[in-house]
Structure 1
Amino acid sequence: MTRPCPSCGEQLADAAAFCEACGAQVGAADADLAGGPGGVKPPVVAGEAAPFDATFPTRIAGSARAPSGPRPCLACGGVVGPDGYCDSCGTKQPDERDHFREQPAPWVAGVCDRGLVHARNEDALALHAGDTAAGPRAVLVVLDGVSNTDDSHLASLAGARAARDVLRATLPAGLGTAQSRTAAAARLFQQAVDAAQAAIVDLTPDGSEHPPSATFAAAVLEGGRLVVGNIGDSRVYWLPDAGTPSQLSVDDSVAQLQIEAGMTRREAEEGPQGHAITRWLGVDAPDLEPRLCELDLDRPGWLLACSDGLWNYLSEPAALAERLRLAAADAGADPMAVALALVAHANASGGHDNITVALARVSPPPGHNAPDHARGPERESDG
């Protein structure tokens, strides 16, 4: 059975995913983009990704300012045609899974990019923003698919979205005490990890010898309250405009164990096991309890969640804060422009891994004068 390419008319095998003549994406994605079998296109929520097709992830994300319609050219901002080329400058655009962006609010944005070396983008992000009685609310979720496993690019995206959907809920207050509040937040983050795990397991191919797996990092900001959870070596940083920048997450990695044993950060992270993780999500995961950190913010700054594609070049909080400061000096407080600048820096530094940057511009509510220190339970790596 054959059918014509919707872009150039070339006859294609019925099961083809790409047109070999023009390079257009076809196959399962066509029905989704055209409105599906019933002719009704699934709704797209402004600033969040279109519904994910595990068979062929094409329509990934859109800006809050442009949730649907033609995507912009990454080179000149023109309109990208159905053949994947810019109608204005003619630049061939990357597949939307290779580079996508989300901006659910003007103060929250993220970029996920393939980098320059890997054949596909196995990173994923999922964002949410809104308002609560406690103040503005943001959810940043980053999953980094492990590159030597099957279908990790599918699993990481499904897992990120599943975790984001759980973390939309308002942070629980517990019984009103600090201890019960922290315990209640821990339960919510555990539910998010469990949801991400279930999504990854659902996409694990039958009989896979290398089942998909991914790291996990998530941050929920609600007013001046911040809760962070992670498994693996994707990270969350707090980069205040004034004060000491800090890495809030603690890696589950061989490098972290070496650092704890006395090795310098640089020696450990640049060593032969610098990116070997000791915990992850997936059917063969050794442990699914996230490390947690809780922080009260009392000053403006930037909340950043990222994969190792960025921190590989800017691991130290001070170095990352300085690079972000330079980007913000050019872009102002626009988190999308700053995220793009950080991705560009990682690519200019070699782009050896997929790169994900999720940012929230933080302005604590007036009168929020909590101390600037981390607290809460923290779980040591299982090694």
Structure 2
Amino acid sequence: MTSTTQTVCPSCGGPISDADRFCEACGAELTPAVPAAATPAIDTDTEPTVELNPGAARGAEALPGPCRSCGGTIGADGYCETCGTKATKARDHFSEQPAPWVAAVCDRGIRHSRNEDAAAIAADPEPGSRAMLVVCDGVSSSLDSDVASLAAARAARDVLAAGHAQGMGTESSRNSAVIARLKAAADAASDAVLANTSPDSPNPASCTFVATVLEGDLLVAGVVGDSRAYWFPDNAEAVALTVDDSWAAELIATGVPRHEAETGPQAHAITRWLGKDAPDHTPRTTSLKVAGPGWLVVCSDGLWNYCSEAAPLADLVRQTAAANANEPLATASALVDWANAQGGQDNITVALARI
């Protein structure tokens, strides 16, 4: 057993122990983090291998499965020996399910040549107790955005999962502590993007960022860009937890109808992002109390492109969940399939928690 010594946070004066990495009252980092070795920037045009399961045996992840077109064997050249279809890379489609009540699915879609979306999630075993969902969407016009988005999502997830944010024992201090942790997660995500950006890149890697933290009945969301978070309670009105940092959102704020703003020529021009040339990466946050069961949804625009408003998207999620026994992984996968059936014009990421 390791003993701990009680002391106070140098930033806010809250109680801490020498085992804490972050102050639970204000979210301040208490011990200098050991800097991670910088990951060399990779030219994504050469189709890099991005490790999706760090715990797997070396080389195991590179082994292709059966051909997704015909079920045949994939040869050493990366093509099906039966029908000649090129094998799907692990980065093109992957999923995570850290607990039965939480899951995420990330897919390349139909039209794009690579998957620049990423998801990283964590959860405690008890349903509805504690979960962290992060989605990052790489900007297609930037280099290495698929590598940077995955690194950013994982870095943010790791910060959020580092400890419980209890605050000073009051609801307001607990909320402030979670918000502080979200901002620290965005900082870590930004650092990860920078670590995967070549200093000489004419189009530095960049991505959006959205994260949600569930701590019991407290739900907090933070966003930079146009990936989104929604709360769909079973017996109450659907809630959009985030507002996009985009040209379309600015038009909507001035009174332009949503459909018109989100289908115009600048519909997906974002005004904030993570990256070397980002104007500001501090997430805008929203907090609410969870009063009953429902679905927490965090997604990229590959899903909401086809169903933007909260109410109809809530109907889609509830119907899809009912058809899949309310199982989060099956529901997320079915929502990705639905988006692909609508055209799959972008990468698609869906992260769900059944509360």
Partner of 2:200: 207
Which residue of 207, 216, 226 maps to 1:223? 216
Asked if 2 retains the 8 angstrom alpha-carbon contact of 1:237 and 1:247, the reply is yes
Once the two structures are TM-superposed, the CA of residue 141 in structure 1 deviates from its matched residue by: 0.4
Give CA deviations for 1:143-172 in whole Å, capped at 9, x if unaligned. Answer: 000000011011000000000000003342
Matched, 1:305 2:335: no
Asked if 2 retains the 8 angstrom alpha-carbon contact of 1:217 and 1:228, the reply is yes
Asked if 1 retains the 8 angstrom alpha-carbon contact of 2:100 and 2:125, the reply is no
Which residue of 98, 108, 114 maps to 1:104? 98
Partner of 2:262: 269
TM-score, length of structure 2 as denominator length: 0.79
Which residue of 52, 55, 72 maps to 1:60? 52
Which residue of 166, 169, 172 maps to 2:165? 172
Asked if 2 retains the 8 angstrom alpha-carbon contact of 1:63 and 1:104, the reply is no
Partner of 1:123: 117
Which residue of 261, 277, 283 maps to 1:290? 283
**Aligned-pair identity (%):** 53
Asked if 2 retains the 8 angstrom alpha-carbon contact of 1:63 and 1:102, the reply is no
Partner of 2:241: 248
Asked if 2 retains the 8 angstrom alpha-carbon contact of 1:61 and 1:102, the reply is no
Once the two structures are TM-superposed, the CA of residue 201 in structure 1 deviates from its matched residue by: 0.4
- Rounded to whole Å, the distance in 2 between the matches of 1:71 and 1:240 is 40
Change (3 A) 1:332 1:87: farther
TM-score, length of structure 1 as denominator length: 0.73
Q: Secondary structure at the match of 2:147?
A: helix
Q: How does 1:1-383 map to 2 (within 5 A)?
A: 55=42, 56-61=48-53, 83=76, 93-131=87-125, 136-362=129-355
Asked if 1 retains the 8 angstrom alpha-carbon contact of 2:74 and 2:87, the reply is no
The CA RMSD measured in Å over matched residues stands at 2.8
Change (3 A) 1:193 1:276: same
Q: Secondary structure at the match of 1:97?
A: helix
Q: Which amino acid aligns with 1:201?
A: L
Partner of 1:23: none
- Rounded to whole Å, the distance in 1 between the matches of 2:119 and 2:254 is 32
- Rounded to whole Å, the distance in 2 between the matches of 1:53 and 1:342 is 34
Q: Which has the higher contact order (CA 8 A, sep 6+)?
A: 2
Give CA deviations for 1:325-381 in whole Å, capped at 9, x if unaligned. Answer: 22112211111111111111111111111100011111xxxxxxxxxxxxxxxxxxx
Change (3 A) 1:59 1:208: closer
- Rounded to whole Å, the distance in 2 between the matches of 1:71 and 1:295 is 43
Asked if 2 retains the 8 angstrom alpha-carbon contact of 1:102 and 1:110, the reply is yes
Asked if 2 retains the 8 angstrom alpha-carbon contact of 1:217 and 1:229, the reply is yes
- Rounded to whole Å, the distance in 2 between the matches of 1:200 and 1:339 is 26
Once the two structures are TM-superposed, the CA of residue 242 in structure 1 deviates from its matched residue by: 1.6
- Rounded to whole Å, the distance in 2 between the matches of 1:225 and 1:139 is 12
Q: Secondary structure at the match of 2:308?
A: coil
Q: Secondary structure at the match of 2:192?
A: helix
Q: Secondary structure at the match of 2:91?
A: coil
Change (3 A) 1:342 1:74: farther
- Rounded to whole Å, the distance in 2 between the matches of 1:62 and 1:319 is 38
Asked if 2 retains the 8 angstrom alpha-carbon contact of 1:61 and 1:100, the reply is no
- Rounded to whole Å, the distance in 2 between the matches of 1:328 and 1:135 is 17
Once the two structures are TM-superposed, the CA of residue 301 in structure 1 deviates from its matched residue by: 1.1
Once the two structures are TM-superposed, the CA of residue 104 in structure 1 deviates from its matched residue by: 1.1
Asked if 1 retains the 8 angstrom alpha-carbon contact of 2:41 and 2:195, the reply is no
Change (3 A) 1:226 1:170: farther
Once the two structures are TM-superposed, the CA of residue 321 in structure 1 deviates from its matched residue by: 1.2
Q: Which amino acid aligns with 1:198?
A: D
- Rounded to whole Å, the distance in 2 between the matches of 1:219 and 1:73 is 35
Once the two structures are TM-superposed, the CA of residue 131 in structure 1 deviates from its matched residue by: 4.6
Q: How many residues align?
A: 307
Gaps of 5+ in 1: 1-51, 363-383
Give CA deviations for 1:47-67 in whole Å, capped at 9, x if unaligned. Answer: xxxxx9975334414999xxx
Asked if 1 retains the 8 angstrom alpha-carbon contact of 2:117 and 2:349, the reply is yes
